[in-house]
Each structure stands twice: as structure tokens, then as C-alpha cells.
Structure 1
Amino acid sequence: MAGDDVRSRRRGMPAPMPGTARALAAMTMFHVRHLLSIPFFRQTALLTPVGFALLKILTAGWHADASVWFDAAVSGLWATTTTATGIIGFQRFQGTLQYLALGVRPAWTAFMPVVAASALIGVAGLPAALAVTLPFVQDGPGRDLPDRLACWVVGYLLAVLSCCVSAAVLSSLFVLSRHAIAFETLIQTPMWLLCGIVTPIDALPAPVRAIARLFPLTYAVHAAQSGAADASLALEAAGCLALCLVYAAAAALGLRAALSRAMKEGTLDLS
């Protein structure tokens, strides 16, 4: 960042402000690298999609549909996303929480990079999901491969975005809990069942489908399962993006309210 400041002054340009998109992206990547250097987070990101893919392949008689890699990759994304329940508390363990909470910048610019990083480390599981799945795929690519590939790419990108905003909501809900890590499993498995990576969404009972539609990840998975780059894909993508905006706004309000309450009551142990 110091080098950027010097180059900006030489060009007669203002130095980048701490809240710019570039600075936020740099902080997010810093946290991604840091979390992946910790065995717990690295194992969650890499081993979860491997185990999920092997379980689906085993139950199918050691035969994998071409979409198994996508389901496994999303399972890894969501598994790391649930670590957001305790990611702010993890900053307390590292001794950096008080500096983030008492900084001059808005709370969301301080906490969003580390919260988003808890979801983004799940992207590291994508190569593992592909490596485990592809050797068991026996069917040929088929003529619909370009359409399916387009749906998978769009669905996966939407899944990454959905997990980032979901991580923000989870972190704001559990910021005041010292034992938030205990909720990870309780959140992880139900979402696997609801979003459609275990059972197709259309096969779920109507009341369960209605509940599932409250989560943006469901729309992302359904977009990948649509199989054709047509109006249905666009509709699922629009629904996912709309819910992501709602989740982002809720996360910002929730985090601000939680930190304000913690500062007043002294329940965050910032000192």
C-alpha cells in the first residue's frame, strides 16, 4: 500500500483511500491467504468437497454424473461459509478484534474482508472436487455440454456470491456469542439438504421448497441444474442477486447493531 501511495503522488493523483474497492479486495485476499495457512480452515476447504463427492459416487455405485463436481464444490463453499459464525470471535483469539472494532472506518469495511474470506477459501476445494469426480464420469459429454457448462459456471459464480453474503449474515447474528463455533454443524447440514446438492430442489416437498427459496444459495444451485442457458437460468440468477442484496443490507444493519450493543454493554471484551 505504501508503494501505491508513492506512485500516486508521483503521478499527481490522490492516494487510494482505505475504503476503496481495491483496498477491500487486497484486505480480503490477505485474510484468504491467512485462513488457508491454518490447518483447520485448509482441511475444511479441501476435504469437505472430497468427502461429499466420494459419498455421492459411492451411493451411485461408483458412477458419477457430470454435475457431481458442482455439488461437491458447493458443499465445500458452504462448509467454509459456516465458519463465519465464529470468524469475528476468531479475531478476538488473535488479538486483533479491538483494533477492527475501534477503527475510524465503518464497521462493514473492517469486518467484511475477513467475513468474505471465510466463504472464499471454499473456492480452494473446486480443483479437489473436479479431481475426485472426473475419473468416475462414464457418460460422454453430449450435445448439451455447452449449455450445461454455461449453467455450471453461472451457478458457481452465484454460489460464491451467495456464500459471501450468507457469511456476512451469519457473522452478524453470532458476533456476540463466544461459542458460535458450536452452531456450524447445525447450520451446515440443513442447508446442504435445502439448497439442492443432495436432492434436486424440485423433488423436495412444497413446504420445504418454500423455505429453501428464502436462501440465495438455492437459486444458485437451481441455476446450475437448469441445464439450458435460457430464460429459466436468467430468472434464477435474478432471484439470487435480489436476495443477495437483501442479505447484504441485513448483514450491514445487523453487524452495526451488534457491535454498538457490545460496545455499550462491554460484552465483546475489547480491552
Structure 2
Amino acid sequence: MRTRLYMFSAVVLPLIFASLAFYMFRGSPRHTAAVNVALGAGLMGMWSATLLGAGNAITRLRMMQVLEPLVASPRSFFLITLPFALATASLGVYGLSATLLWSTLLLGMPLHIAHPALFLVAVPVAVIALGMLGLLMSAGFILYPTAQSLANFLEYPVWMLSGMLVPISMLPRPVQEFSLALAPTWGVRSLQGAAQGSARSAVQAMGMCLLLSAVYAVITLVLQRRFEWLARSSGTLALQ
């Protein structure tokens, strides 16, 4: 919270996304549910906060010269980086909430949540999905000295592929199949299903979201161990 750039990304940026989405879709002839627009803008801010926090965490550890002791410690580095990803993703819940309130109170978008209880369950599931995907991507940050540049590059593709920015049905067929392998895609579907009244599809989407998140955790654990070995053998762990 002491980093101005991160606070702008987590606090102000979701409101900007919501405003841009409102004016873009208001002048569009395409029919899109207002709640989907608000949810998409909020999730975009949540992913930005997650990716920025995960990338900055590894960078800060390297700059403070504590990355080497943490990697060399007996505790698994996976358990050290997991709180970074989940904490930054959970802070994105503010962006999601603020986006919904901003869209309703100031932009006048008619937002209606059909299943509020199911929606509240879907929110932490989406947080886990974004956090685990961010953690999976951050595994390479151990070897990559300028991790924040890589984090910035990965921001827009996930927006597009997970259905936050545009519906997946508008993407080419091969890209749609790849999107189904992303846990945030199912997180978006679970939130939209709970908001629009499709309880069964929301529950199914949450199940797929948690399953893929577990797969991400296993892959991340394997990659981190491999990257730790490579960094130690090449002596590039503290490379600035």
C-alpha cells in the first residue's frame, strides 16, 4: 500500500475501466448485459493488480537482496510466493466491488445479481484462479531479472483470452479452445452465471476453476524447483 503505482492500479484503474466500458457499450448496437460490462471491468482491474503485485514482489525481493536467502531456506519457495499472489488478487476484490458501485451509482447502469449468495461464493473462487495463474507466471520471474516487463506483457492477453474484455465467442475457434485451459475464464463464467441467474452453469464453472487452479499449483511447484536449480547452477539468482 506504500507503492503509489500499485495503489493506482488497484484503486483507481478499475474505475477507469468501468467508465470506458460504460461509454463504449452505450454507443454500441450490440446487446450486452450491463452486469457483464461491470464485471469485466472489475476483473480486468483485479488481474492487473495480481500481475503487478506478483511481478513486483520478485523484483523487490531481488533488489533488497533477500531472494537468495529465501530460495536457500528449508521452506519451499512455493509457500513463500503463494501469499504474494493470493494477497494481491484478494485486494482486487475492492476493484470489483468499487466497479459495481461506480457503475450503479454514478453511471446509472442497471445492475442486478440474480443469486447474491452464489455470487459471493464465486468471488473468492475467481480470486484463487487469478492468484494461481499469476503464481504460475511468476515462476519464471526467478530467472528473469526485469520481471515487471514480463508482467506487463502478460496483462492484455489474459484480458482477451479469459473473456474479461470481449466475449470468448468472438475469438477464433483455436483461440477459444486455448481459453478453456485458463482458470480465469471459468472464474468469469461463474460470476456471470451467478449474476444472470444460471446457477447450474455457475457451479460447474466454479468446479472447473478450482480444478485448473489445483493443476496450476502442481505445475508451479515443479517449475519453481526446476528454475531454482537453474538459477543456483548458473549463479544468476541475484542478477540485477
Scaled by the length of structure 1, the TM-score of the pair is: 0.76
**CA shift at 1:62, angstroms?**
8.0
For 1:67 and 1:151, locate their aligned partners in 2 and report how far apart those are by CA, in whole Å.
Answer: 16
User: Which of 59, 77, 88 does residue 24 from structure 2 map onto?
Assistant: 59
Instruction: Tell me if 1:93 matches 2:60.
Output: no
Contact 1:216/1:240 (8 A) holds in 2 = yes
- Aligned length, in residue pairs: 231
Q: Distance in 2 between matches of 1:205 and 1:269?
A: 41
Report how far residue 209 of structure 1 moved: 1.2
Query: What does the per-residue CA deviation read over 1:2-48, in whole Å, with 9 as the maximum and x for residues that have no partner?
Result: xxxxxxxxxxxxxxxxxxxxxxxxxxxxxxxxxx2211211111122
The alignment partner of 1:214 has SS state of coil
Measure how far apart 1:268 and its partner are.
Answer: 0.6
1:156 & 1:202 partners in 2: Cα distance? Answer: 23
Query: Which of the numbers 109, 114, 126 marks the counterpart of 1:146?
Result: 114
Q: Per the alignment, in what secondary structure is the counterpart of residue 89 of structure 1?
A: helix
Question: How large is the Cα RMSD of the aligned pairs?
Answer: 2.4
Which region of structure 1 is more displaced relative to structure 2, 37-46 or 221-230? 221-230
Partners in 2 of 1:205 and 1:247 — Cα distance?
Answer: 25
8 Å contact kept, 1:91–1:97:
yes
- Provide, for residues 163-189 of structure 1, a one-character-per-residue CA deviation record: whole Å limited to 9, x for no partner: 111121011122101122112232111
**Which 4+ stretches in 1 moved above 6 angstroms?**
none
Q: Which stretches in structure 2 are left out of the alignment for 5+ residues?
A: none
Pick aligned residue for 2:123 from 143, 156, 162: 156
Alpha-carbon spacing, 1:138–1:77, altered in 2? closer, same or farther (3 Å): closer
| CA apart distance, 1:212 | 0.7
- 1:146 is matched by which residue type in structure 2? A
Larger radius of gyration: 1
2:152 to 160, 185, 205: 185
Identity %: 26
Q: TM-score with structure 2 length normalisation?
A: 0.85
Q: Which moves more between the two structures, 237-246 or 83-92?
A: 83-92
- Counterpart position of 2:238: 269
1:235 aligned onto 2:204: yes
Give the Å deviation of 1:95.
Answer: 3.0
CA distance in 1, matches of 2:80, 2:95: 26
The answer to whether structure 1 residue 78 and structure 2 residue 43 are counterparts is no
- Higher mean Cα deviation, 90-99 or 234-243? 90-99
Q: Which residue of 2 aligns with 1:10?
A: none
CA displacement at 1:151 relative to structure 2: 5.1
Shift of 1:67: 3.6
